[in-house]
Amino acid sequence: MPAAASDPMTAMFRWMTADPFRAFIAAGIASLVALFALPMVAWLPAGLVVLVMLASGRVAAGAAAAGAAAGLLWVFIPAFGPGPALVVALAVLLPSYLGGSALAATGSLSLVFQALTLGAVLLVLAIHGLLGDPAGVLMPLIAELEPMLRRTAETLSQWGIERSAEEIGAATARVAWATLGWMVLLHALLAQFAGLWAFDRLREPGVFGREFRQLKLGRFIAWILVACFLLSVVSHGLLGQGWQAIDDVVFVLAAAFLVQALAVVHGLRELQVIGLLPMILAYAAVVLVPMALVGIGFADTWFRFRERFARR
């Protein structure tokens, strides 16, 4: 049975999804709450759009997206102007809206995960194709941050790490666009998770846990990572420097496989293959040894750990 009607959270979800007007109002309020609580709940308005998509369809979800966009534009236009504010609103809401639409149509969180990951890869490649030298575009901004970079260099020097402000600025510019691609993907994923979790409480108990524990990227995306990694290795070996666009794609895909690794851990926990402590250690590894989790997620594509243990 769905969560009881007397449950305040479920009652709130029911109110939000009752009609397009309520969805518009709720999403507008959610966007303002998210702005005041950044970065912890930046996914909140997009997650609400996904919930409304699943519960009430595209028309109501469109109203929710409009309400969320109105809140974002109201805050960002005075600060940055209409053009940049519109770009921010689209980046925050459009991937989640499209992902929610695909989730409602297919019922598969894995398919949405795959589509959003490929979309993030295409975004990174488009940035490199359109800007030519994306890192160079950021250098004027990096120059304005020189006082902060100098203080960072001094702090690192106290820890025995010798880096100049120029080196830190150049490194920041190199990773900035890959980080943007990953953040867009992560934000859209968190919105799908939040929306499906709320729908789980509202209408279909157990669907979020089941879909998350089955999360996978598939072999097509795994082969893309293999090809890009080999291109990166060859580029570094022959040219003495990386091919930045390919390096950025490797970063985004590796981060996506880290998410798959967490799904594997939860799946094995559900199957009682591992206990609570290994799951806690896996989340600690996100910060301490993330590449170990990337390896687990990538290996799961070929060895299917969850399916193997489920058959036992």
Q: What is the pLDDT of residues 276-292, one digit of tens each?
A: 999 999 999 999 999 99
Answer with the residue of higher pLDDT: 52 or 2.
52
The per-residue pLDDT for 160 is 81
Say which range, 11-20, 26-35, 100-109, 161-170, has the weakest mean pLDDT.
161-170
More confident residue, 158 or 11: 11
* 136 three-class SS: helix
* pLDDT over 80 (residue 156): no
Segment 24-33 mean pLDDT: 94
Residue 5, pLDDT above cutoff 60: no
Flag whether pLDDT at 3 surpasses 70: no
Pairwise CA distance, residues 183 & 187, whole Å: 6
Q: Is residue 1 very low, low, confident or very high in pLDDT (cuts 50, 70, 90)?
A: very low
The tally of CA atoms less than 13 A away on the side-chain side of residue 8 is 0
Provide the mean pLDDT of the chain: 91
Question: Which tens digits make up the pLDDT trace of 52-72?
Answer: 999 999 999 999 999 999 999
CB of 60 within 8 A of CB of 17?
Answer: yes
- Cβ atoms 149, 142 nearer than 8 A: yes
pTM: 0.91
- Look at residue 73 and tell me whether its pLDDT is greater than 70: yes
Q: Band of the pLDDT at 239, cuts 50, 70, 90?
A: confident
Dihedral, CA atoms, 130, 135, 141, 147, nearest 10 degrees? 170
DSSP, collapsed to helix, strand or coil, labels residue 215 as coil
Q: How confident is the model at residue 18 (pLDDT cuts 50, 70, 90)?
A: very high
Angle between helices 244-270 and 290-303 in degrees, nearest 10: 70
Residue 136 in this model has a pLDDT that exceeds 70: yes
Of 212, 214, 253, nearest to 230 by C-alpha is: 253
Give the 3-state secondary structure percentages of the chain, helix then strand then coil, rounded to 5.
85, 0, 15
